[in-house]
Structure 1
Amino acid sequence: MPDPGPIEVRVTVDLVAPQPEPESESRDWSWLTRRIRPWASIISGVIVLGPWFGGRSIVGGWSTTLHEARTEAGITAAYFIAGTALALTFYADDRRPRWWTRGALIVALIGGTGAMAWFDPVTALTGVRP
């Protein structure tokens, strides 16, 4: 057995500082505010939902018109009119974002409920008529 010699220990130090952990990125919600356009929506909402016409709003007038179309022409015609108006105003608001196109979209969306009856989803799902 050979004589044990001196034991040599070598220590290597890495002088490169460790990279800090990246901070969690906050989500960018600017696309949503660009899409919603809060000020245009608020201004348009006040105009089209306000009782400016003898206690009636523009939305109420459109809802009444669709309800009469449902009564006179039928359910399909009322839904067709409401759906067409909603599609056109959505397209216009997407292409030309102005306060009045947002107002038209609000009228079509909220006023479109005049074409609906509460039992329509039940009929659509089950086929049961009132």
Structure 2
Amino acid sequence: MTNYTRESLLKRPFNDFRHYPYGFSRSGDFSIRESDALTQYGCLIAALLRGDYQPVNSEDQALLAAARGEQAPVSVVEKAWAKYQARIHRPKVASMYGKGKFADESFSSGSVEGSEDDLIVED
């Protein structure tokens, strides 16, 4: 396990190329202040959550508690991290067409003969 210092973690920019390949500022999900906060403090929060870095002051403890959900986010950094977590863990949007086949088995595109729901119009 590598020993990290707070200064080294704050100097390292945080990027999530899997979810935000063009960066936080170009995604449209975050404001400029939020994207700057994520870029600057993201490595520190990630190291706190992994256990690679132990909190040494009250700010680190507040960041860790807010990141774990133990307290409500108060600062811009805590709110930005909560928003980031909500964005990357949101449910995936399914296709409105389903799996490519009709999900309802009663619908058949073949014969119309056995259907009782046919509308009959007489003149």
TM-score by length of 2: 0.25
Q: Which has the higher helix share?
A: 1
- By relative contact order (CA 8 Å, sep 6+), the higher-ranking structure is 1
